[in-house]
Amino acid sequence: MTELAAVKAALKTQAVETPSWAYGNSGTRFKVFAQQGVPRDPWEKLDDAAQVHAFTGVAPTVALHIPWDKVEDYAALAKHAEERGVKLGAINSNTFQDDDYKLGSICHPDAAVRRKAVDHLLECVDIMDATGSRDLKLWFADGTNYPGQDDIRGRQDRLAEGLAEVYERLGDGQRMLLEYKFFEPAFYSTDVPDWGTAYAHCLKLGEKAQVVVDTGHHAPGTNIEFIVATLLREGKLGGFDFNSRFYADDDLMVGAADPFQLFRIMYEVVRGGGFTPEVAFMLDQCHNIEAKIPAIIRSVMNVQEATAKALLVDRDALSTAQASGDVLEANAVIMDAYNTDVRPLLREVREEMGLDADPMAAYRRSGWAEKIVAERVGGQQAGWGA
Ligand code: PSV
Ligand code: MN
């Protein structure tokens, strides 16, 4: 196989998971702007996600968020997805929207609230059993707002205890992905603020516990690709929540704010052997002002472009330049790959996969956007109602 053929073959195996919540209405704490045609339930979210996969060919699974996507019959939901050509992916827990969680969930000072939170996580594993999902994604809004508010060390003990109970419940082939975030909604201390804390907990828990990197969850200027390289090296990179940010956790389309950063991350993924199904490549985005389905198609394409460029890095030339201390040549090798226009290559890849070369135009032509506006009238639109 030529090198280009190998790159194309790798691109055809790509899988980007889209989040159910990105199809619903979202906003800032100031306003949620409702859009016409937005899904009214998890079933319709899956119908939209199937469109993204139909036009890109590389978005075969959909992450659910519980309780936002609660249904009576998860096996039926999984069947609904499969009939439309997609599958259910990670189950995301939610221990941040009940009044009880004002002072935290599994780190809360009151054992009764901790119990409630852990029970929710255990319920999420029950749902995974029904959906066939591999990954339980955990993000905790836990933390404190003021020095002295709670014992930050005691909170780590409570976190470890809660996580251990859930870890024990995981079945064969199931994993927990622990997500970190440096602030928000807590403003003084956050109980899982960084990759190091997540890593320390996952290491103690065992092999089924892995760290997930949400690209919007770092302080400005953080070298995220270094974190990715380190976690891969330690066998602890479980996946990504991709999105992009200009200031805080903006949840904008991945690759929109900083495509070069996305390329650097994907290069470390490829370099570290992480371009495999063992690493879950998920989107975690909100489309507050733009049309949702095409925004998700665009995001998937942005990940594809960054991946193609990462695969095109001339690794031999790079190693040679690095070994000889040729700083400028090493940098040039990286920049050559980044500056390659991979759009013609990706058009070819899509055509070889039997897809339209231009997913955005094909979606626009399909009439789906008009169809959902006409059909989805009445009922309550999905959204997190901030
Ligand atoms: C938190 O900001 C987060 O990134 C977590 O992944 C949540 O599950 C997700 O956003 C949706 O609110
Ligand atoms: Mn996330």
Task: Determine the pLDDT at residue 2.
Answer: 77
CA distance 158 to 283: 29
Q: Return the domain boundaries, the chain.
A: 15-296+356-375, 306-340
* Packed helices 152-169 and 195-205: angle between N→C axes, nearest 10 degrees: 50
Q: Which letter does DSSP use for residue 100 in this model? A: G
Q: pLDDT by residue (tens digit) across 226-257?
A: 999 999 999 999 999 999 999 999 999 999 99
What residues does the ion ligand 2 have nearby, CB within 5 Å?
214, 241, 284
Question: Cα(179) to centroid of ligand 2, in Å?
Answer: 7
Residue 386's pLDDT band, with cuts at 50, 70 and 90, is very low
Architecture of the domain delimited by 15-296+356-375: Alpha-Beta Barrel (3.20)
Ligand 1 binding site (Cβ under 6 Å of any ligand atom): 21, 92, 139, 179, 181, 214, 241, 249, 284
Mutation probe of ligand 1 site: the residue of 23, 65, 92 with most atoms within 8 A of C-beta: 92
CA 112 to chain centre: 31
On the question of a cis peptide bond just before residue 185, with omega within 30 degrees of 0, the verdict is yes
Mutation probe of ligand 1 site: the residue of 23, 176, 284, 285 with most atoms within 8 A of C-beta: 284
Contact 384, 94 (CB under 8 A): no
CA distance 331 to 270: 17
What is the rounded end-to-end Cα distance, in angstroms, of the chain? 52
Task: Please determine, for residue 384, whether its predicted confidence score (pLDDT) is greater than 90.
Answer: no
Task: Please determine, for residue 379, whether its predicted confidence score (pLDDT) is greater than 60.
Answer: yes
Strands 189-190 and 143-144: antiparallel
| Token pair 């996507």: residue | 69
Mutation probe of ligand 1 site: the residue of 179, 180, 181 with most atoms within 8 A of C-beta: 179
Q: Mean pLDDT over all residues of the chain?
A: 97
Task: Please determine, for residue 385, whether its predicted confidence score (pLDDT) is greater than 70.
Answer: no
Task: Please determine, for residue 51, whether its predicted confidence score (pLDDT) is greater than 60.
Answer: yes
Locate the ligand 1 atom nearest the alpha carbon of residue 65 and give its number: 8
**Token pair of 7 as six digits:** 């790159």
Task: Please determine, for residue 332, whether its predicted confidence score (pLDDT) is greater than 50.
Answer: yes
Tell me the average pLDDT across 111-135.
98
Q: Which residue's CA is minimally distant from atom 7 of ligand 1?
A: 139
Question: Cα(130) to centroid of ligand 2, in Å?
Answer: 23
Task: Please determine, for residue 14, whether its predicted confidence score (pLDDT) is greater than 60.
Answer: yes
10 Å CB burial of residue 75 (0-12, 13-18, 19+) is exposed
Locate the ligand 1 atom nearest the alpha carbon of residue 212 and give its number: 6
Give strand pairing partners of 190: 143
**Amino acid code (one letter) for 119:** D
Question: Cα(313) to centroid of ligand 1, in Å?
Answer: 32
**Token pair of 194 as six digits:** 């960084």
Residue 1's pLDDT band, with cuts at 50, 70 and 90, is confident
Task: Please determine, for residue 317, whether its predicted confidence score (pLDDT) is greater than 60.
Answer: yes
Enclosing H/E stretch for 62:
strand 61-65
Q: Which residue's CA is minimally distant from atom 10 of ligand 1?
A: 284
Task: Please determine, for residue 286, whether its predicted confidence score (pLDDT) is greater than 90.
Answer: yes
Q: Which residue's CA is minimally distant from atom 9 of ligand 1?
A: 284
